[in-house]
Amino acid sequence: MKTLPGKPKREVLLILSSLLILSFSRCDSNPGLISFEAAVTRANAVDPGALGVPIAKASVILDRPQIPILCYHQIRDWRSSDSKRAKDYIVPVENFREQMKMLAENGYHTILPDQLDDYLLKGTGLPAKPIMITFDDSRMEQCTIGMEELKKYGFRGVFFIMTVALNKPGYMTNTEVKELAAEGNVVGSHTWDHSNVKNYTAGDWIKQVDKPSSQLETITGKPVKYFAYPFGLWNKNAVEHLKERGFTAAFQLSDKRDPDDPLFTIRRMIVPGEWTTATLLKWIHQDF
């Protein structure tokens, strides 16, 4: 039997039950009871939007204006040993502070993945000048310096956790991750050890995704619904595996979104350490 795309089984049964009851109420004019197959057909024809069910097709999602999503890795001052390439992923502390201040002064409001999901799927409204701030790799300073600045402006963030690093020097502890979630931030998966999902075999999905998700859910007491691809790299096989595991959406970096699965190839922009606030604002405007 074919069920309604994207509908929970319980909701499908409620729709079918309503249709069957309706068929009984009309038995005077149409003595034949509606068949189960016909009920499914009619249920599939019901406008899901009236039931509050996401209905947007990929083409509709792709047509919606993209929301700027920033990606940060390390927030610390540069060291003499840092290479030029490394500085692309290291934002000096004062630069980060100025960037958060700039966003607030320019009227930006942070949103979280559930809000983005509702916007993309249902067209649900967002606050004025929405922006999402994400952090990868579980670095301790994201929880200390990062959250200290976000809280100043009533911002919230999304933290994609690489679980192999938890409780190690320079990285977040279980307690810090739990506090992030309790304070209204979102904790997502960034695999166990940041390996490329394009190379996974069946066993790797258990080690790199299933076990880390379970670990994070135990720590936070909340479901892990969002995923960030290590290095921003993905393929169709990875998308299907994430869907099978119940993820709602997945985030890459700056490549084009997949025309068939835009929810699993959401774009983000790495903020290089050399950028001034003016440069960041310029790229927000032109890249999204």
pLDDT of residue 55: 58
Q: Which fold has domain 58-287?
A: TIM Barrel (3.20.20)
- Domain positions in the chain are 9-51, 58-287
Reported as a single tens digit per residue, the pLDDT across 224-274 is 999 999 999 999 999 999 999 999 999 999 999 999 999 999 999 999 999
Structural tokens at position 62 = 């792709």
CA angle 259, 256, 288 (to 5 degrees): 110
User: Average of pLDDT values for 167-173?
Assistant: 98
Distance, first Cα to last Cα, the chain: 41
Structural tokens at position 160 = 């994609």
Tell me which residue of 34, 62, 156, 26 sits closest to 100, measured CA to CA: 156
Could you tell me if 248 and 117 are in contact, meaning their C-beta atoms sit under 8 angstroms apart? yes
Pairing of strands 226-228, 249-251: parallel
Report which secondary-structure segment, H or E, holds 174. helix 174-182
Residue 21, pLDDT > 70, answer no
Total number of residues shown for the chain:
288
SS3 42: helix
Residue 147, pLDDT > 70, answer yes
Mean pLDDT of the chain: 86
Beta carbons within 8 Å of 55's beta carbon, 6+ residues apart: 6, 47, 48, 49, 121, 122
Report which secondary-structure segment, H or E, holds 270. strand 269-270
Reported as a single tens digit per residue, the pLDDT across 92-104 is 999 999 999 999 9
Could you tell me if 176 and 140 are in contact, meaning their C-beta atoms sit under 8 angstroms apart? yes
- Give the confidence band of 288 by pLDDT, cuts at 50, 70, 90: confident
Query: Residue 91 and residue 102: Cα distance in Å, rounded?
Result: 15
Structural tokens at position 157 = 């963030």
Q: Which residue has the tokens 């999902």?
A: 197
